Structure 1
């Protein structure tokens, strides 16, 4: 079926755009939730934000911060949502919401640095420890199932996981302290 001249085919997003979009969903949801304080409204605003992001995918400038761009769109969607719900009894001032949003952005940066430190520390683990921790945190996996899978007593697996977690925590703390002093 041929496209008419009046209705050109929409631009297909690049794989990179889709990956950035997907990775941004959770931080964007938390950013919105921190400002509206209601899970259902945050989900609604996220959906509205996603529609705008897809509609404006041509406006995203590659090699810039996708998260910042998406947050800006979310901020406008939050403001629109607040305008629609002005009559409700409990509303927060714009100054308060701006302060909360700033705090969320700062915490998100800290969380991202911790995630990067965790990746670095995971790479430094011996292969057997890394494999054990990755298997444990596969969705739906429990410690007992892991113990049965690796043929070890559950207590032994729990002790190993505890040791690995302590090593990771110490590594992350050292890395974060090193970055803070640099």
Structure 2
């Protein structure tokens, strides 16, 4: 597997993991059946991967995923032959809009919290994160640059990510 493929898989996995609860919650809210929701979530995940080349990095992944889930739910509802009560299209659109609005607010809060948390790091830590995640430097490149082992750099990055996650969670809890 090429490193670009690995990078794409890793990026998709991270985005999917971050949006899972919101996307699954939306699907379940529309269907009110756990088994159907799980099936539709799996189908949506497959569609998201198939269409991942169309996703614009830097845009809100969750919003994009919710739109795909919406159409997947609609297709599922059309294919059902059992007599079931589903929400009208206008209700589904309103629920989708509320999920999207919540997603946008949460993304804004998270971005603001991340910014504040990054400012609490030392300049050296900020530079390491910038090199790794903005410039795309590999752990191997960073290790060579810092004259450290790859394991040491990977450990520092892991600790920084955990520290940022803890800080973001605290900031968001305080903000609510």
**TM score, norm. by length of structure 1:** 0.54
8 Å Cα contact 2:66/2:96 also seen in 1: no
More helix, by proportion: 2
* Distance across 1 between alignment mates of 2:75 and 2:49: 18
8 Å Cα contact 1:46/1:74 also seen in 2: yes
State the superposition RMSD in angstroms: 3.8
Question: Residue 44 of structure 2 corresponds to which residue in structure 1?
Answer: 49
Q: Deviations over 1:99-148 (max 9, x none)?
A: 121122223333444555666788899xxxxx9xx6xx9xxxxxxxxxxx
1:27 aligns to 2:22 (yes or no): yes
Listed as ranges, the gaps of 5+ residues in structure 1 are: 1-10, 126-130, 138-163, 174-182
1:18 aligns to 2:4 (yes or no): no
- Give the Å deviation of 1:12: 5.3
1:94 pairs with one of 89, 92, 97:
89
8 Å Cα contact 2:62/2:103 also seen in 1: no
8 Å Cα contact 1:34/1:104 also seen in 2: no
SS in 2 for 1:62: coil
Larger Rg: 1
1:56-95 equivalences under 5 Å are 56-85=51-80, 87-95=82-90
* Distance across 2 between alignment mates of 1:94 and 1:26: 23
Superposed structure 1 runs of 4+ greater than 4 Å apart? 113-125
- Give the Å deviation of 1:21: 2.1
SS in 1 for 2:40: helix
1:107 aligns to 2:83 (yes or no): no
* Distance across 2 between alignment mates of 1:67 and 1:103: 13
**TM score, norm. by length of structure 2:** 0.56
Count of equivalent residues: 130
